[in-house]
Structure 1
Amino acid sequence: MEEVSASLRAALLEADDEYLTGLSSKGTLNRGRKDLQALSPSAQAQGEELLVTLGAETCTLRVPLGDSACTCPARGVCRHLVSAILWAKAQLGQEAAPSAAESPAVPSAAEGSSVPSAGSEAPAREAPAAKEEPPRVSLRDFTPLLDYPFEALRRAMGAKRLSRLAARLQEEGLPPMEEGSVVTVRLPWEPAVVRLLIPPEHSSCSCHSRELCPHKAEAILLYQIAKGRLEPGELTAQEEEVWDAQALRGVTDAVCGAVAAQLRTGVSRLPPSAEGSMERLAAMAHSARLPELERSLRAAASMLGRYFSRSAAYRDEALLSVLADVFDRAQRLHAASEGELAVLAGSFREEYLPCPPLRLTLLGEREFHAASGYEGRVYYFWETRENRFYTWTAARPTIYDTPRRRMTGAFQAAPWQLEGTMARLYGVSIELRDGRAARGRRLSSSGESRAAVTGSLDPWDALPPERQYTDFSRLLRDLRPHLPDGPEADRVALLLPRFCGAPSFDRVSQTFRLPLWDAKLRRLVLEVRYRKEEQAVVDALERFAEKAVRRRKQSAFLVLCSLDGDALRFYPIEVYAGWGRHGARPRPASLPAGVRLHAARPGPQGAPQRLRFPRRAGRGRSDGDARSLRGILGELSGALADLLQSGADSLPPESADRMEALARQCEDTGLHTGAALFTRLGELLQSGRHQLSPEPLPLAEAVSRAARYVTLCRERLALDAAEEDWNNETEQNETEEEE
């Protein structure tokens, strides 16, 4: 064979079966070796290249071998190129051997097959079996893989895939890798097999993509981490977005200016176009990648729309709370550093990250109807290993629905490739693998997730005794850290009441109430606000209460706790009849008509009559202080609502004196922060009367801080009042029993 260049000679001699498999595939390698037995190749050197003729096809071999070309129409490294590489390597091996002139051209023992010599028509003889050699150490330099730029890999993978990889590495560690002539990386979560070659552009993947696919990018990143070139923690650090500071400040300045102008003008003097202005600001926030600010602006626009349409659902306090949140968030974004921007900006769509294998059992479900045009059901699963709740939501749009097309939740198909409907998951244990969960432990119905039923499991056996609340005061202590805005999965609890009182219906607020008492006679009230969609829930609870006196069976309630204004609310998700009784199954609170529920266990004498009437809250020692605080907070909220309605420019002169008087009341009550805030507000109103064009931002900042302060005080007061009432009721009932 003619003389070839040194670089091509080295590449051909180094190309073993593993490398050729990485360039093409195992099948192409076997086909090329088989075809070579029936061919009589010839070669001609042309500079740095080698032309090999194989019958009707001509192959041009060059460095790197992946850039070689063939006259056949196949793309990439075809079987002709594989045959040409095998033949050329065998020829070079014969020239290097001392007995090359006396023996026919055959491939080396490492190739494991015979190759005919140039110009020979007879098939070559089999080479004698060689002794087994130790594993060949690769002489290839994989530095290009280690130096591959991270930005290119990040673009190929995408931000979501990169964050999922970081989560997998933290929980599962590195996947298996094999390093030889090529680096073989197996991705068990895809599944995919990537063979990394030099240069990296010639790497192959089981997805058959010739470009830098996400699998190849992921494999290169894993190799860099395995070699210590990159730390796993740097994946999330490198994921941070680059923010346009000028565009961001432009949006935040516009938002702060708009809110400040509305507070100086007053809602009563705003034109109807103010709603559209807030929508335009929301679009600007969307373009600047500020989703949380966008949501708040759209909420403000919706409330302004209710005001201009004279909707009964409009409330000054609600609009003021949203405007305060908008102004506060815009100010914090304006002053935030690059490290804080991602947290303050939020995300347009929450990412579902991989979670470890979960052992779940379904405990309850509730129906929801959102004003945004979606409805569905939220399912509550208990995880028996971690001892905490997970949720899964089945939602669908209702814009195209008609009354005939709507279906009940009983026909909801089970997720995670389970057979049957969700109703079959009650009373069983399921094992979920390759699951994904978002913040707040909200599970995804990803097609990659797999679940299997592992056996039967009663709910009272699934929950540990400490999570079956018979003491309502302990319930409040456990739920308090997650109120008011904690994840829904952390605000779910299972109650085992001692007594069940008589239900009542408030016609003014259209609210159904069912009181429950624990063993220490602490009262807790289940509340359902009447709507057409909640009719079945109310009917089921009424039937439940009818049996309270005649039945002696312990029942359980799965409830969702929330803070509504200055009151603690408990919504019934499920009612369990005969808790702990063998064979009992949970029955949803939204049962269809005709299905009967049992009641909670009555008292020793058939539930004392005094327990059947709700005890008036606030009979404790601090009742006067609580009423005083509620009154002051109501006055503070009313003063801010008047300012929102009339605007700072149209308030009467005595408004500044009113703010100062409220500040003195706050100081006398112990609300020192409130006193400072309303003193500042009074000073700004007083100084604004003597200026032609007062600066609007300081007033907007003072109003925003005062509104948020009042909201936080009301939330804290509601939690303290609930705990105080329960403690006072316990003391009073114990005193009555002693007497």
Structure 2
Amino acid sequence: MSGNGVRGPADWHRAWGNYDDEALAALASTGLLRRAGKDVEAGKVGWHPDGGAAAGLVAADGQRVELAIQGPGGARCDCPAPGICKHILAAALWLRAPAATDAPAAAATEGATEAGQAGVLDEVLALDQDALFKAAGTAAVRKAAGMLAGLGRVDIAEQGAVLVIAIPELDLVCRYVAGTGYEGMVSGAAPRLAKALHLLALAAVWHAHGRVLPWPAQAGTAPSDADTTPSTGGVSAEERRFLLHARALVHETCAAGWSHVSDIAAPQLRALATSARVESFPRLAGLLRGLAGIADLLAARDFGADEAQALQLAAQAHALIHALGAPAAQADPALLARLRGTARRSFEAGATLELLPLGSYWWEARSGARGLTSAFWDPQAGQVRQAVLARRDDSDPGFSKDGAWARHSLWPGAGAAAALAGKALVLEEPRLAEDGRLGTGGATRASTQPAWLLRDSRWQEAGFDDWSALREAIAGTAGLLGEPLDMVLLRPAACEQPQLDEAAQQLTWRIRDRAGRSLTLRLPYEAWKAARLDNVEAWAASGDTIAGVGARLERGGQGLLEPVTLLVGRDARVHPVSLDFEAGQARPMLATRIRRMLRGRTAPAAAPAVRGHGRVVHALLAQLERKAMSGHLHLARRDDELHALRPTLLALGLDGLAHLLARYLAAPDVGRALALYHAGQTCLELDTGFL
């Protein structure tokens, strides 16, 4: 029996009648809902003879469904299927139909639905928060409170009697159904996470409408905190179970082979990323989200899909999972906190951020994504910060290279990227995304000031003017504990003229630091980079003082540093030059020769030469990538080419890598292959080959 005091058909209509098809599909699947609808159409659903509406019992295709006042999520069926079955869905569909009751009941239901349509948002805002916290439980309250502060955009929409709450960064859509309360909410969240995520969704609605959230003391955090830092305590038993599950799923996905990844892999990885965020593993969540994105492309046979990148992220995730559970992390709270990562998304309330614009650059990815990245020097943090305007594909015809540069505003008060040249920028209420980038739009407001003088101490201390310090900084970002670094500000003491490398189909440009040490920047030719190649050559020959260079960093044994912006002296002030958009005075000759040389060709540019140890590590990774594509990471033949690499690794002094290779060849499995691949990648990251 339901035991909830509901006795009439109209009462069940009020409790169940507001669940639309989308809400019901979120409980199970669209296919199961379709089959349930066919049972209703065939007349296989009605009140059960053992008590009917008074007892809250429905007969559906020969099964007995016990209704619950909180909706289908609390119902029970006597069939052997676990969770929400076809019969529960059929009962929900049948209870929506007026034929299920007499006319007065139907009228009552119609009135309830209309009331729900008019006030489902008001109903959510009027919920008793103390009762809600009690229903959710201490663990769910703690998790929801910890995530709310770092939450990004939340989309809230009323759809009839349903309030739809979407949280894009968690790939989560929750539905609150009028009249059913917190316990009647539905989403695609895993059952063990549903309480916390549903509470988070409601809290986001309250927060969006300016409601103060009186979190109980046991929540352990306040949603007004700007920095959401996970607990620094040891990994709990529940978290260990999650990490084991995460490792098993990553291994399972790799074992299937990245060249024929299944359609279900991406949703599974995405759900796992959500779980990682809830379990206070933000860094792992980011890796899993990236892996899910690549799995989507691979499953769709997208030309931009990259199996090697999938293996790289899987290896990083495997290494991070192992490190999180290692004794060293349990004994060192600071180390564990760094491995967990943080979900910082904003500065202190009322903070301001003073920035020097470094210019902007355009980029295009093989997946079809494209965008404009604007770089800024932050003197307080001593680092480059970036803001991105981007689109995943060509679905937005209004977004173009020239439009993003000249028309799309970054923040109110700042204007487009093109308008920032020759100015300094002050941001009020700045926001940071999880990857450290500046969030555009939102509540942030901008104002401009005169650009910095070349003699300003803030400029004299900016970036790197010592290439040995640059090497140390880049090497320090390698491995699990390294922070992302994809752009650096260089302040050269002297610049040579760019040179054409015809074999590699690129321009090379040597710049020197204050000690006279040389650093080689490279600009590989691609058709969409033509203006960049022209302009770097023209500006280098223009006679203007080049006070700084903004360079993109691509990690690995080749160590590519590609100039994308310049900082030139103009009227004794620092003036940014965006190489994709601003032409110099001199006539470019070398870039023109590259285009003439490649006219009509489709072959990719030759890879730059790699030093001896780099070649061996690249060969090792290439072998593992081929195995990962076919799903053969767990296999190693006697004639496997990997056997021949071990003596060379030992001869080069790469003993640790040689040991991991020997361990893998002795007992090949996915876990050992991922550990070996990650170690090889770290070796390449530590090798800054451009210096």
TM range (shorter): 0.5 to 0.7
Matches within 5 A, 1:401-440: 401-402=396-397, 407-418=402-413, 420-439=415-434
For 1:109, the equivalent position in structure 2 comes to none
Letter in 1 for 2:345: E
Shift of 1:374: 3.9
Q: Choose the corresponding residue for 1:591, options 581, 594, 600.
A: 581
User: Equivalent residue for 1:358?
Assistant: 353
Would you say the 8 A contact 1:430–1:453 is kept in 2? yes
- 2: distance between equivalents of 1:291 and 1:300? 14
Give the letter aligned to residue 574 of structure 1.
T
Name 2:491's counterpart in structure 1: 495
Contact 2:355–2:378 under 8 Å retained in 1: yes
Structure 1 residues 385 and 637: CA distance shift in structure 2, 3 A:
closer
User: What are the Cα deviations for residues 644-687 of structure 1, in whole angstroms up to 9, with x where unaligned?
Assistant: 577378765333xx655543443344322223222222322xxx
- The CA distance in 1 between the partners of 2:448 and 2:611, in whole Å, is 53
Which of the residues 249, 254, 261 maps onto 1:274?
A: 261
Output the TM-score relative to the length of structure 2. Answer: 0.55
Q: CA distance change for structure 1 residues 253 and 513 in 2, over 3 Å: closer, same or farther?
A: same
Work out whether 1:633 is the aligned partner of 2:617. Answer: yes
For residues 371 and 644 of structure 2, what CA distance do their matches in structure 1 show?
49
1:499-510 correspondence to structure 2 within 5 Å: 499-506=495-502, 509-510=504-505
Secondary structure in 2 matching 1:678: helix
* Distance change in 2, residues 1:157/1:426 (3 Å): farther
Find the counterpart in structure 2 of residue 710 from structure 1: 680
- 2:581 matches 1:562: no
The answer as to whether partners of 1:375 and 1:395 remain within 8 angstroms in 2 is yes
Offset, 1:567: 1.9
Equivalences for residues 384-395 of structure 1 within 5 A: 384-395=379-390
| Structure 1 pair 298–360 and aligned structure 2 pair: CA distance change class (3 A) | closer
Change (3 A) 1:541 1:161: same
Provide closer, same or farther for how the CA distance between residues 362 and 484 of structure 1 changes in structure 2, counting only shifts above 3 A: farther
Closer, same or farther: CA 431–585 of 1 in aligned 2, 3 Å: closer
Is the alpha carbon distance of 1:644 and 1:287 closer, same or farther for their aligned partners in structure 2, counting shifts above 3 Å?
closer
Tell me, in whole angstroms, the C-alpha distance in 1 between the residues paired with 2:224 and 2:417.
42
**Contact 2:429–2:444 (CA under 8 A) maintained in structure 1:** yes
Matches of 1:519 and 1:212, distance apart in 2: 55
Q: What do residues 99-137 of structure 1 show as CA deviations (whole Å, max 9, x unaligned)?
A: xxxxxxxxxxxxxxxxxxxxxxxxxxxxxxxxxxxxxxx
Partner of 1:699: 669
Shift of 1:596: 5.1
Q: Is the 8 A contact 2:379 2:462 kept in 1?
A: no
Q: CA RMSD in A?
A: 5.4
Aligned partner of 2:522 in structure 1 is 527
Alignment-derived partner of residue 654 in structure 1:
639
* Aligned-pair CA distance for 1:255: 3.7
Q: What amino acid sits opposite 1:529 in the alignment?
A: P
Counterpart for residue 196 of structure 2:
none
Query: 430-439 or 579-588, which moves further after superposition?
Result: 579-588
Q: Map of 1:659-674 to 2, 5 A cutoff?
A: 662-674=645-657
Q: Structure 1: how far apart are the matches of 2:622 and 2:540?
A: 39
Task: Check the 8 A contact 1:566/1:715 in 2, yes or no.
Answer: yes
- Once residues 382 and 242 of structure 2 are traced to their aligned partners in structure 1, the CA distance between those partners, rounded to angstroms, is 46
Letter in 1 for 2:269: A
- Give the corresponding residue for 1:113: none
Pair 455,404 (structure 1): closer, same or farther in 2 beyond 3 Å: closer
Secondary structure of the residue that 2:357 maps to in structure 1?
A: strand
Which amino acid counterpart does residue 712 of structure 1 have in structure 2? T
The structure whose Rg is larger is 1
Gaps of 5+ in 2: 1-128, 152-203, 277-284, 590-607
How far the C-alpha of 1:504 sits from its partner, in A, is 0.9
| 1:681–1:388 distance in 2 versus 1, CA, 3 Å | closer
> How far has the Cα of 1:232 moved from its partner?
8.4
Deviation at 1:528, TM superposition (A): 2.2
Counting aligned pairs with the same residue, the percent is 18
TM-score normalised to structure 1 length: 0.52
Is the 1:275–1:301 Cα contact (8 Å) retained in structure 2?
no
Deviation at 1:230, TM superposition (A): 13
- Given the superposition, is the C-alpha separation of residues 640 and 537 from structure 1 closer, same or farther in structure 2, using an over 3 Å criterion? same
Shift of the 237–569 alpha-carbon distance from structure 1 to 2, 3 Å rule, reads closer
- Contact 1:366/1:573 (8 A) holds in 2: yes
654 and 156 in structure 1: CA distance in 2 versus 1, 3 angstrom threshold: closer
1:277-296 matched pairs, under 5 angstroms? 278-279=265-266, 281-282=268-269, 285=272, 288=275, 292-296=287-291
Instruction: Give, in whole Å, the separation in 2 of the partners of 1:662 and 1:408.
Output: 51
Conserved? CA contact 2:379–2:458, under 8 Å: yes
Structure 2 contact 358–377 (Cα < 8 Å) conserved: yes
Alpha-carbon distance, 1:571 to partner: 2.0
Distance in 2 (alpha carbons) for counterparts of 1:499 and 1:212: 55
* C-alpha distance in structure 1 between counterparts of 2:251 and 2:288, whole Å: 11
Q: Which amino acid aligns with 1:653?
A: R
Quote the Cα distance in structure 2 between the aligned partners of 1:231 and 1:319: 36
AA aligned to 1:358 is L
**Are the counterparts in 1 of residues 287 and 317 from structure 2 also a CA contact under 8 Å?**
no
**Superposed, which structure 2 residues align to 1:239-638 within 5 Å?**
249=244, 252-260=247-255, 262=257, 273-276=260-263, 278-279=265-266, 281-282=268-269, 285=272, 288=275, 292-300=287-295, 302=297, 318=309, 320-325=311-316, 327-328=318-319, 351-354=345-348, 356-402=351-397, 407-418=402-413, 420-439=415-434, 441-458=436-453, 461=456, 463-467=458-462, 469-482=464-477, 491-506=487-502, 509-518=504-513, 520-547=515-542, 551=543, 553-577=544-568, 579=569, 581-582=571-572, 585-592=575-582, 627-637=611-621
Alignment of 1:94-113 (within 5 A): none
- Alpha-carbon displacement from aligned partner over 1:571-590 (angstroms, at most 9, x marks no partner): 2232234x264367332212
Deviation of 1:539 (Å): 1.1
Superposed displacement of residue 711, structure 1: 1.6
Amino acid paired to 2:660: L
CA contact (8 A) 1:300 1:323 kept: no
Report the secondary structure of 2:377's partner residue. strand
Secondary structure at 1:670 match in 2: coil
Distance 2:341 2:269 in 1: 14
Deviations 1:468-516 (A, max 9, x none): 644433433344423589666784213224131342144x544332222
Asked whether the 8 Å contact 2:635–2:669 carries over to 1, the reply is no
* Equivalent pair of 2:227/2:344 in contact (CA under 8 Å): no
Match of 2:149 among 163, 181, 197: 163
CA contact (8 A) 1:251 1:284 kept: no
Deviation at 1:218, TM superposition (A): 3.7
The match for 2:600 is: none
Distance in 2 (CA, whole Å) between partners of 1:390 and 1:287 is 26
Tell me how far apart the structure 1 counterparts of residues 679 and 232 of structure 2 sit (CA, whole Å): 35
Structure 1 unaligned regions, length at least 5? 1-143, 166-210, 600-616, 619-625, 685-697, 724-739
Amino acid at match of 1:572: P
Counterpart Cα distance in 2 of 1:383 and 1:632: 39
Contact 1:354 1:437 in 2 (8 A): no
Corresponding residue SS for 2:394? coil
Query: 1:567 is matched by which residue type in structure 2?
Result: Q
Shift of 1:149: 6.8
Shift of 1:370: 3.8
- Summarize deviations over 1:218-269 as a string: whole Å, max 9, x none: 47459x79xx99998999669999969878755643442343454xxxx8xx
